[in-house]
Amino acid sequence: MKPRHIVIIGGGITGLSAAHTLYQRMRELGPELQITVLERENQLGGKIRTHREGGFVMEEGPDSLLARKPAGVRLIEQLGVTSEIVNSREEGMKTYIVHNGRLQTLPARTNMGIPAHWPSFFDTPLLSSAGKLRALLDLVLPPMEITGDVSIGAFLRRRLGDELVDHLIEPLLGGIYAGRLDDLSLLSTYPQFRQLEQKYGSLIRGSMRQRQAAPTLTSNHGRSVFITLKNGLQTLVERLHDELHPHISLLTQAEVTRIEPTEGGAYRIAANVAGEVRTFAADAIICTAPAQVAATLLSPIVKEAQALADIPYVSTAVVLLGYQRAQLNVDLDGAGFLVPRKEGRTITACTWTSSKWPHTTPEDQALVRCYVGRAGQQEALALPDDELLQRVMRDLADITGLTARPWFTRVVRWNAAMPQFLVHHQEKLASVTEALATHAPGLFLAGAGYHAVGIPDCIANGEKTAEAALAHIQSL
């Protein structure tokens, strides 16, 4: 095979995972395979970002990953940082939901809010008697007749009623996507709910059966459901950089401005690299850029790619608050709390990081992480940092009684960071993917804007796409 060049647009975890997979194959193929990663920001890692200061390990993006999804743990093992894994503590995982301005414990043993344990369901004050009775209709309602996609909100409301969805499920599921359940696609977010309905005729019945057959909390090869790394998830990015940079060109401040086909099925990429215009010849391209950027780059080649511009993104912010533990006037006795939309708060969720992940914080300190912004509730993000902080601290005082003044604050803004998988997202994406395969072979889409949300899913998507790109160049 003559020398081939694969260019990866985007140096987030998807792009880096793709590069890592290709690097492993590079060791087999030798100099015949060259790889370049082009990242427009001044650092790699995308939304994985850890701030370390004064003994604190503060995650500015995701704070953990699911151990049951193998791609994340597998990459950690391949990078030789298994000893860094920290398991979540069962006693630190108690979660609250704000209900009428007060904290109420999330019912035990739910399946993302779907009841799977009768005592906790009947005892919860989060639902009225009428709301509980309405949810029980799920046990007798016939499966929904679906010929295509529907919103996950419409699907769940039909089976379980508005009250259970609004009070329990929406803050759990909507928080993951920063979206509205009534807008998000069932097939692109939680298709397993449809599968439960089809298999068991009931979400509650199916969730209970799954719970009975499920492994215990610590049976993921001796790990808890959620894991993180001792020095932060950015350790993943740093280890990937250390392993890859001697062999792969990792360019930051490299914004791709144009992609054009050349003779022989190859491509020419123009990029502004730290102020210098450079071009790169590529036999295959893996594009992990956000959807609007991808639409701009790809639509001159494949007109169907213009549809990617219709994928909306939501902005969010993370507010980190550090406290002297001796000055705390409340007991942070769990993982944190979720805030339903109906509560009308600035905060959408809050993690008591020093309780959930004690290793992140010196013993005499406490760390609280608050989230702001979701689809339909973006107004607070227009405020300057000091006003946003005041609103967050006011919510904390009202909800938890926490009136201590933080000695440390940090506001991290993520503009247009959360892709929204709306109804018919898969159909739109399939159309674009098919057009690329037909009219631009060797050009692949991957990443959070298209197929994956969450670190393990992004890793798996990057690895899978790398294999597809490698198969393409081997066929030339």
Each residue's pLDDT tens digit, 310-325: 999 999 999 999 999 9
Cα–Cα–Cα angle for 171, 176, 178, nearest 5°?
Answer: 75
Domain boundary among 404, 419, 434: 419
- Judgement on whether residues 305 and 317 belong to the same structural domain of the protein: no
C-alpha distance from residue 414 to each of 31, 47, 186, 296, 372 (Å): 39, 8, 25, 21, 10
**Which of 159, 183, 213 is the endpoint of a domain?**
213
Cβ distance 257 to 270 under 8 Å?
Answer: yes
How far is 121 from 134, CA to CA, in rounded Å? 13
Please check whether residues 100 and 208 belong to one and the same domain. Answer: yes
Residue 59 lies in a domain: no
Query: Are 96 and 200 in the same domain?
Result: yes
Residue 310, both tokens: 């219709």
Q: Tell me the two tokens of residue 439.
A: 């009219």
Amino acid 215: pLDDT: 54
Residue 57 lies in a domain: no
Q: Are residues 126 and 162 in the same domain?
A: yes
In a domain, 127, yes or no: yes
Instruction: Enumerate residues 6+ apart whose C-beta is below 8 A from 235.
Output: 50, 81, 84, 229
Total count of residues recorded for the chain = 476
pTM for this one?
0.94
Spatial CB neighbours of 263, under 8 Å, sequence gap ≥ 6:
none
**What are the structure tokens assigned to 98, written together?**
């704000």
Residues 425, 280 share a domain: yes
Looking at the structure, tell me whether residues 186 and 282 fall in a common domain: no
Nearest to 264 by CA among 94, 77, 473: 473
Q: What confidence score (pLDDT) does residue 144 get? A: 86
Token digits for 456? Answer: 């393990």
The full DSSP string for 450-466 is: TT--SHHHHHHHHHHHH
Determine if residue 55 is left, alpha or beta; phi over 0 gives left, psi from -120 to 50 gives alpha, anything else beta: left
Whether 73 maps to a domain, the answer reads no
pLDDT recorded at residue 218 = 42
Q: Do 25 and 137 share a domain, yes or no? A: no
Strand, helix or coil for residue 424: coil
What residue ranges of the chain have pLDDT lower than 50? 216-220
Rounded Cα gap, residues 64 and 224, in angstroms = 11
Same domain for 426 and 373: no
H or E element at residue 144: none
- Does residue 184 lie within any of the structural domains? yes
Indicate whether 452 and 347 sit together in one domain: no
Strand partners, 107: none
Enclosing domain of residue 317? 312-419
Rounded alpha-carbon distances, angstroms, from residue 88 to 20, 108, 356, 360: 27, 17, 7, 12
Give the contacts of 356 (CB within 8 A, at least 6 positions apart). 63, 88, 89, 92, 93, 334, 335, 336
Does 18 share its domain with 32? yes
Helix and strand counts by DSSP (H, E) for the chain: 16, 20
Residue 80 lies in a domain: no
100 vs 282: CA distance, rounded Å: 57
Closest CA to 21 of 461, 442, 466, 468: 466
Query: Which pair of structure tokens corresponds to residue 237?
Result: 């990015």
Q: ∠130-131-134 over CA atoms, to 5°?
A: 85
Residues 238 and 374 in one domain: no
- Find the CATH number of the domain harbouring 142: 1.10.3110.10
Query: Which DSSP letter does residue 170 get?
Result: I
pLDDT of residue 214: 66
Q: Is the same domain home to 30 and 137?
A: no
User: Which stretches of 63-151 are assigned E, i.e. beta strand?
Assistant: 65-66, 85-87, 95-99, 102-105
Pick from 379, 404, 419: which residue ends a domain?
A: 419
Widest CA span in the chain: 71
**Residue 77 in domain:** no
- CATH number, domain at 441? 3.50.50.60
Quote the CA–CA distance of 111 and 116 in Å, as a whole number.
6
Q: Which domain CATH number covers 384?
A: 3.90.660.20
Tokens representing 179 are 């979206």
Taking the C-alpha atoms of residue 107 and residue 97, their distance in angstroms, rounded to an integer, is 10
Report the number of distinct structural domains present in the chain: 3
3-state SS, residue 336 = strand
Residue 225 resides in a domain: no
